[in-house]
Structure 1
Amino acid sequence: MPTLGAIADDFTGATDLATMLVARGHRTVVTVGPDALSDGPGAAAVRDADAVVVALKSRTAPVEEAVGRSLAALRALRESGCRRFYFKYCSTFDSTPHGNIGPVADALLAELGERRTVVVPSFPATGRTVHEGRLFVHGEPLEESPMRHHPLTPMRDSHVGRLLTPQTAHPVRLVGLDTVRQGCEALREALDAPELANALVVVDAVSDEDLVTVCAATAQLTLVTGAAGLALGLSGPHAEAARATPASRPGDPGVVLSGSASSATRAQVAHARAHLPHRKLDVAALRADFTGAVAGLVDFVRRSWQDEPGKPPLVHAVEDLGDLEQTAPDGGPAASELVERALAACATALVAAGARRILVAGGETSGAVVTALGVRTLSIGSPIAPGVTWARAEGRAHGQDHTVDLALKSGNFGDTAIFTEAWSVLA
């Protein structure tokens, strides 16, 4: 029976956290939404797990919807036996001026009858650190990093406290690196101070060792919040939990579906275009004839499987930021929405056509693809890069059950060659 329950505000974040938990010795299952905890074949996997991560698509949802989904996930986790909880958000603290990190944290605390928690977005393995309350991305302040251009959640302030204060009814406080470096007992004493009793406490961390200290010092808290890096200190009951066996075999058809506009993914797309068959989405064609344009993309991938076996084709949306800035006609969907719908439709058609390995780039795109494929559970397999892993996905689409290997890559994660090299880690 699981004792640790996590709520992730997007699908890439869910597999990111689950990968960390598996490495720390937790038998971990990811469920898509809370219903899979009690219904269908995923329920058995939940009962056998030490930790469960509920994947939501709530990061950019309206505040009330994000809060409602998160509370439903919390209640389902409690009913499954979980007694400690982890609210997982992105290490770049992706949010709007109104949420959803603060409102969800407030709601989870109230539901649990708790008054305070920590806020720890640091993930040094992916270049995210917090010092003096400011969030840095590979050494750059958040507002100077490529995140300032994010099409949905542009981040233009690196001060976590300033970002969080308008979102929460709790006071926001900071515990600095000097206290963290004094060790677990000193940090726990600082966190237990009366003036922090009702606060959301931003905690500095710039190294893995800092995160281990923070995790040990917060063991008494029912709820912690942060990026996946905080799980570094959450040791499980096993030396390392077993990983899922691949659903595919070497040589099985695969595809890369990339909807991300991040600078990291754009570089990955540029590299892959030099090595893989590739096709860029035509937003104008999608507006004119969505069904026909998707059919053309699917046909391109299927031909590529025949003509260049062993080279998973790339279907991508963005080469530069202007690709998603095309003005929609009155009442028409935004370019980003069309991209998500098109790549999700491609995924279901390609699985029906034999795809057994799919690498998806972008949090919103990953959510759309997982939803379209009717995925209920994800079992963590071989890691690809920090924050990115293969997972065995069990789902049902168009009346047919399917099992595929699925990698959900946050737009900012992975090295330049990930689209060409990720396949080698599958057995």
Structure 2
Amino acid sequence: MSALPDTPVLAWLGDDFTGAAAVMEVFAFADLPAVLFLDTPSPERMADFPRMQGIGIASMARTYSPARMERDLPAQFELLAQTGARLVQYKTCSTLDSAPHVGSIGKAMDIGAAIFGATTIPIMIAAPEMRRYQAFGTLFAGTDAGVFRLDRHPVMTRHPVTPMDEADVALHLAQQTDIVIQCLDLETLAEPSRACAMLKAGKGGVTIDQMGPQDVRAAGALLWNGHNRFVVGSQGIAYALVAHFQKIGLLQHAPTVSGIGRAERMAVVSGSVSSTTADQITWALDNGFADIRLDVTQVCGGDLANAEARALELALQSLVHGQVPIIYTARGPDDPAVAQLRAAAGDQLVQVNDDIGAALGRILEQLVDKAGLDRAVVSGGDTSGHVCKALGIDALTAAAPTIPGAAICNAHGRASPLTLALKGGQMGSRDYFGWVLDGGGER
């Protein structure tokens, strides 16, 4: 093949908004045009973004029950299949956020296997570019303090909804599906003929190890040259495809991407309780951002509207004084508000979290409309979905990079221009919010 096909290379359904956007940015900054739709698009809306090599749909499937997945995912998979994309991906988190009862990756695999007639499903969770590694089936993730096995990771073991207690990818997913899952390990990946034969002969799911650039290129070749249209995994799939295309000359190495300039008026909302986000909030407050806590304990007492109104009032005042408001629900997993909310919510925690995300969305929507924001940041994968819906955004395209997986994007569907950065709770440098304020750009 001397050129990439005219049809899309990859179509994907993201299990949350931040992760879905991460795939889009990998393609866009490699000079492969890509768009992410924030709801199932009409044919007319899809036609507004012609000649895309990557087409994604963001969902909130990470918060869905298996029954909700059965209702919603088939139609979205079928729409992506109709794009003619060579590969169709169910995009998971690179830290495997999922459980049998919520955000089940295994259930998504069951649904996708039925729709695509897949007897073998490549599973690529690792993304070494983001310090997500898989070795002999075990997943590792990097932090400022080092690289940890996922079941010993200081953030993921304390996730508020899906705390991680199993680092073996196949064993974790075996709790969610009856599909038999095996591992294509580093030794097999190093021998292309063996790796290809394993995917051809395999029955069920096959997790793919990756530790470094050579593995990434080999994994990309395996996916592109294989016969498995339905794939499951993180943005590591997009990175692997790009690396393979560059190696064989189908794609040139993209030039450095610059920033888009400092925002005139920006706000940040955060529904994350991760320690990473807590460090970012501390940096922001130390650097002049306005400290505004949304009192989430009022949700269970029926006073969410009052807490929401108070946070909005303080945020508007801070913008008048030239500050960037940062409206947050907690400062890390040890914040007393986290335990208080869990105790008060009881078995309604999922609904309460949805209510909080919706409140943050309404606050940001009011700030954009009343204060004329030209840029916004959302921290938290689940929160991002609620916020984008509140803002009336229906599509994103990449504008400027920051850290991998949390670019600044152009928001489409609104009358007034808006750039938006979405980041998962555990993502980003300590100065991430300041980096976005300054307009991003590689550094």
Q: Same fold (TM over 0.5)?
A: yes
CA distance in 1: counterparts of 2:377 and 2:432, whole angstroms: 10
Report the counterpart of residue 361 of structure 2 in structure 1. Answer: 344
1:379-403 CA-to-partner distances (Å, cap 9, x unmatched) read 111011111101111235xxxx343
Distance change in 2, residues 1:291/1:64 (3 Å): same
1:150 aligns with 2:159: yes
Within the candidate set 70, 89, 93, 1:90 is matched to 93
Select 1:392's aligned residue among 398, 410, 424.
Answer: 410
Q: 1:67: Cα distance to partner?
A: 3.7
Which of 114, 118, 124 is the equivalent residue of 1:120?
Answer: 124
Which of 300, 319, 327 is equivalent to 1:315? 327
Name the stretch that deviates more: 148-157 or 166-175. Answer: 166-175
2:175 counterpart letter in structure 1 = P
Residue 228 of structure 2 corresponds to residue 216 of structure 1: no
**Separation in structure 2 between the aligned mates of residue 153 and residue 330 of structure 1, nearest angstrom:** 16
1:366 aligns with 2:379: no
Tell me the equivalent position of 1:405. Answer: 419
1:328 equivalent in alignment to 2:344: yes
2: CA distance, partners of 1:109 / 1:240 = 34
For residues 116-146 of structure 1, the C-alpha deviation after alignment (integer angstroms, 9 at most, x for no partner) is: 1111111122221111111112221111112
State the partner residue of 2:266.
Answer: 254
**Structure 2 CA distance for aligned equivalents of residues 175 and 331 of structure 1:** 39
Unaligned ranges ≥5, structure 1: none
Deviation larger for 126-135 or 284-293: 284-293
- 1:66-94 deviation digits (Å, cap 9, x = unpaired): 24322211211233333421221001111
* 1:407 alignment partner AA: A
AA aligned opposite 2:291: H
Count residues with an aligned counterpart: 413
Give the SS at the match of 1:59: helix
Letter matched to residue 280 of structure 1: R
Q: 1:191 to 1:298 in 2, by over 3 A?
A: same
Indicate yes or no: 2:269 matched with 1:269: no
Q: Match for residue 134 of structure 1?
A: 138
Shift of 1:256: 0.8
More displaced, 352-361 or 319-328? Answer: 319-328
Higher alpha-carbon deviation: 78-87 or 407-416: 78-87
Shift, 1:173, TM fit? 0.8
CA contact (8 A) 1:243 1:382 kept: no
Q: Distance in 1 between matches of 2:376 and 2:97?
A: 25
Contact 2:276 2:426 in 1 (8 A): yes
Q: State the Cα deviation string for residues 34-69 of structure 1 (Å, max 9, x = none).
A: 2x2424xx3233433121011011012011212432
* Correspondence for 2:434: 420
Whether 2:218 is the aligned partner of 1:205: answer no
Query: Counterparts in 2 of 1:150-299, with a 5 A limit?
Result: 150-182=159-191, 184-192=192-200, 194=201, 196=202, 198-219=203-224, 220=226, 221-235=228-242, 239=252, 250-275=262-287, 276-286=289-299, 287-299=301-313
Q: In the TM superposition, what is the alpha-carbon distance from 1:240 to its structure 2 partner?
A: 7.1
Shift of 1:242: 11
In the alignment, the residues of structure 2 paired with residue 289 and residue 245 of structure 1 have an alpha-carbon distance, to the nearest angstrom, of: 44
- Taking a change above 3 Å as real, the CA distance of residues 238 and 306 of structure 1, as seen in their structure-2 partners, is farther
Matches for 1:6-21 after TM superposition, within 5 Å: 6-21=12-27
Quote the residue 2:3 is aligned against: none
**1:250 to partner: Cα distance:** 4.1
Per-residue displacement from partner, 1:276-303 (whole Å, max 9, x unpaired)? 1111111244545333322221221222
1:393 is paired with a residue whose SS is strand
2:100–2:175 Cα contact (<8 Å) kept: yes
Instruction: Give the superposition deviation at 1:26.
Output: 1.8
Residue 101 (structure 1) shift: 0.7
Shift of 1:30: 0.2
Cα separation, partners in 2 of 1:191 and 1:95, compared to 1, 3 Å: same
Aligned pairs for 1:75-86 within 5 A: 75-86=78-89
Asked whether the equivalents of residues 175 and 202 of structure 1 are also in contact (C-alpha less than 8 Å), the reply is yes
Aligned residue among 393, 410, 414 for 1:375 = 393
Q: Give the letter for the 2:357 counterpart.
A: E
Range moving further from structure 2, 51-60 or 202-211: 202-211
After superposition, give the CA deviation of every residue in 1:315-368 in whole Å (9 maximum; x if it has no partner). 111113242232326897765334312211101111111122110000011011
Instruction: Compute the TM-score of the two structures, normalised by the length of structure 2.
Output: 0.86
